[in-house]
Structure 1
Amino acid sequence: MPYDYQPFPYTAPPGLTAPEPRHKVVIVGAGPIGVAMALELANYGVPSVVLDDNNVVSVGSRAICWSKRSLEILDRLGIGDKSVEKGVTWKVGRTFHRDKEVFNFDLLPEEGHKMPAFVNLQQYYVEEFLVRAALDNDLVDVRFKNEVVEVDQTAEAATVRIETPDGEYSLETEYLIACDGAKSPIREMMGLDFAGELFEERFLIADIEMTADTPSERWFWFEPTFHPGQSALLHKQPDNIYRIDLQLGWDADPVEEKKPEKVIPRIEKVVGHSDFKLDWVSVYTFQCRRLERFVHDRVLFVGDSAHVVSPFGARGGNGGLQDVDNLGWKLAAVLEGRADSGLLETYNTERTYGTDENILNSTRSTRFMTPADGAERLFRDQVLALAAKAPFARSWVNSGRLSVPCVYPVNGADDKALPRVSRPGAVAPDAPMGNGWLLNALGGRMVVLALGCQAPEVAGAEVLTPEITDEIRRRYMGEAEKTVYLIRPDQVIAARWPYVDRTAVEATIEAIWRGE
Structure 2
Amino acid sequence: MVDVRYDIAFKLYPYEKIAAQQEAAQRHPVVVIGGGPIGMAVALDLGRKGTPVLVLDDHEGVGQGSRAICFAKRTLEICDRLGAGDAMVDKGVVWNVGKVFHGDERIFEFNLQPEDGHKRPAFINLQQPYFEKFLVDEIRKAQSEGALIEIRGRNAVRALTQKEDYSLLDVDTPDGPYQIEADWVVACDGARSPVRDMLGLSFDGRVFEDNFLIADVKMTADFPTERWFWFEPPFKDSGSSALLHKQPDDIWRIDFQLGWEIDREKELKEENIRARVDAMLGEGAEYELEWTSIYTFQCRRMKEFRHGNVIFAGDSAHQVSPFGARGANSGIQDAENLAWKLDLVVKELATESLLDSYSEERAYGADENILNSTRATDFLTPKSDVSKTFRNAVLELARDYEFARPLVNSGRLSVPCVYDELSLNGPDHLSGPARTRVGAPCVDAPLGDGFLLGRLGGEFTILAVNEPAPSVSNVDGISVASIELSTDNDDPTGAVKERYLGSETSGVYLIRPDQHVVARWKTASVADIEAALRTAIGKGH
Q: TM-score, normalised by structure 2?
A: 0.93
- Structure 2 counterparts to residues 49-128 of structure 1, below 5 A: 49-128=54-133
Structure 2: runs of 5+ lacking an equivalent: none
Aligned counterparts of 2:309 and 2:265: Cα–Cα separation in 1:
39
Deviation digits for residues 37-71 of structure 1, max 9, x if unmatched? 10011121111110111113111000000000000
2:259 counterpart SS class: coil
Shift >3 Å, 4+ stretches: none
The answer as to 2:298 corresponding to 1:298 is no
- In 2: Cα distance, 1:191 partner to 1:256 partner: 36
Q: Is the 8 A contact 2:459 2:513 kept in 1?
A: yes
User: Of 27, 30, 50, which aligns to 1:22?
Assistant: 27
CA contact (8 A) 1:135 1:142 kept: no
**2:441 aligned residue:** 427
User: Equivalent of 1:256, from 266, 288, 291?
Assistant: 266
Q: Does 1:142 align with 2:151?
A: yes
1:163 aligns with 2:182: no
State yes or no: 1:33 paired with 2:42: no
Cα offset, 1:421, TM superposition: 1.2
**Equivalent position of 2:277 in the other structure:** 267
Distance in structure 1 (CA, Å) of the matches to 2:293 and 2:51: 37
What do the CA deviations read for 1:287-320 (whole angstroms, capped 9, x no partner)?
Answer: 1110111000110000000011000000000010
Q: Percent identity?
A: 49
Greater Cα offset, 474-483 or 306-315 = 474-483
2:58 is the alignment partner of 1:48: no
- Aligned position for 2:216: 207
Distance apart, 1:156 and its partner CA? 0.7
Provide the C-alpha distance between the structure 1 equivalents of 2:411 and 2:64, rounded to a whole number of angstroms. Answer: 25
Alignment pair present for 1:173 and 2:197: no
Q: C-alpha offsets along residues 51-99 of structure 1, whole Å, 9 cap, x if unaligned?
A: 1111131110000000000001111121100000000000001111001
1:485 aligns with 2:535: no
TM-score normalised by the chain length of structure 1: 0.97
Q: CA deviation at 1:478?
A: 1.3
CA distance in 2, matches of 1:85, 1:229: 34
2:465 corresponding residue in structure 1? 451
Deviation at 1:415, TM superposition (A): 3.3
Alignment-mate amino acid for residue 430 of structure 1: D
CA displacement at 1:6 relative to structure 2: 4.0
How far apart, CA to CA, are the structure 1 residues paired with 2:317 and 2:447?
37
CA drift of 1:221 comes to 0.2
Distance 2:68 2:248 in 1: 13
Alpha-carbon distance between aligned partners in 1 of 2:8 and 2:534, rounded to the nearest angstrom: 50
Q: Distance in 2 between matches of 1:457 and 1:222?
A: 57
The farther-off stretch of 8-17 and 68-77 is 8-17
Distance (whole Å) between structure 2 residues aligned to residue 2 and residue 258 of structure 1 = 16
Q: Deviations over 1:145-198 (max 9, x none)?
A: 101000011231111100000011111011001000111111111111211111
Closer, same or farther: CA 146–278 of 1 in aligned 2, 3 Å: same
Q: Does 2:43 correspond to 1:5? A: no
> In the TM superposition, what is the alpha-carbon distance from 1:229 to its structure 2 partner?
5.6
Match of 2:246 in 1: 236
- What's the secondary structure of 1:175's corresponding residue? strand
| 2:528 equivalent to 1:507 | no
Secondary structure at the aligned position of 1:427 is classed as coil
Closer/same/farther in 2, CA of residues 229 and 60 from structure 1, 3 Å limit: closer
Q: Give the equivalent residue in structure 2 for 1:412.
A: 426
C-alpha distance in structure 1 between counterparts of 2:8 and 2:363, whole Å: 37
Per-residue deviation, residues 297-353 of structure 1 (Å, max 9, x unmatched): 110000000011000000000010000010000000000011000000000000000
Contact 1:71-1:115 within 8 A present in 2 as well? yes
| Cα distance in 1 for residues equivalent to 2:117 and 2:201 | 44
User: Contact between 1:103 and 1:397, CA under 8 Å: does it hold in 2?
Assistant: no
2:196, 2:239 → 1: CA distance? 38
Residues in 2 aligned to 1:312 and 1:381: alpha-carbon distance in whole angstroms: 19
SS at match of 1:159: strand
- Look up the SS of the partner of 1:450 in the other structure: strand
Structure 2: how far apart are the matches of 1:360 and 1:5? 34
SS at match of 1:137: helix
The code of the aligned residue for 1:218 comes to R
Aligned pairs for 1:318-397 within 5 A: 318-397=329-408
Q: Is the 8 A contact 1:94 1:104 kept in 2?
A: yes
Residue 111 of structure 1 aligns to a residue whose secondary structure is: coil
In 1, the alpha carbon distance for the partners of 2:8 and 2:241 equals 32
Tell me the distance in 2 between the aligned counterparts of 1:198 and 1:376: 19
| Aligned residues of 2:8 and 2:64 also touching (Cα < 8 A) | no
* Aligned partner of residue 388 in structure 1, secondary structure: helix
How many matched pairs? 516
1:465 aligns with 2:484: yes
Q: Which moved further from structure 2: 469-478 or 411-420?
A: 411-420
Cα distance in 2 for residues equivalent to 1:276 and 1:87: 21
2: CA distance, partners of 1:249 / 1:385: 23
Structure-2 separation of matches of 1:267 and 1:318:
28
Which deviates the most, 28-37 or 227-236?
Answer: 227-236
Q: 2:450 aligns with which of 436, 458, 461?
A: 436
Deviates most, 20-29 or 461-470: 461-470
The 3-state SS of whatever aligns with 1:35 is: helix
Q: Deviations over 1:200-231 (max 9, x none)?
A: 00000110000001111000000011046610
In structure 2, do the counterparts of structure 1 residues 394 and 154 end up closer, same or farther at CA, with 3 Å as the change threshold?
same
Q: Contact between 1:14 and 1:20, CA under 8 Å: does it hold in 2? A: no
- Give yes or no for contact 2:8–2:129 (8 Å, CA) kept in 1: no
Distance in 2 separating the partners of 1:4 and 1:504: 51
Q: 2:500 is matched with which residue: 476, 483, 489?
A: 476
Listed one character per residue, the Cα deviations across residues 487-514 of structure 1 (whole Å, up to 9, x for unaligned) are 0010000110011222122111112222
Counterpart of 2:192, as a letter, is K
Closer/same/farther in 2, CA of residues 225 and 195 from structure 1, 3 Å limit: same
Q: Where does the alignment leave 5 or more consecutive residues of structure 1 unmatched?
A: none
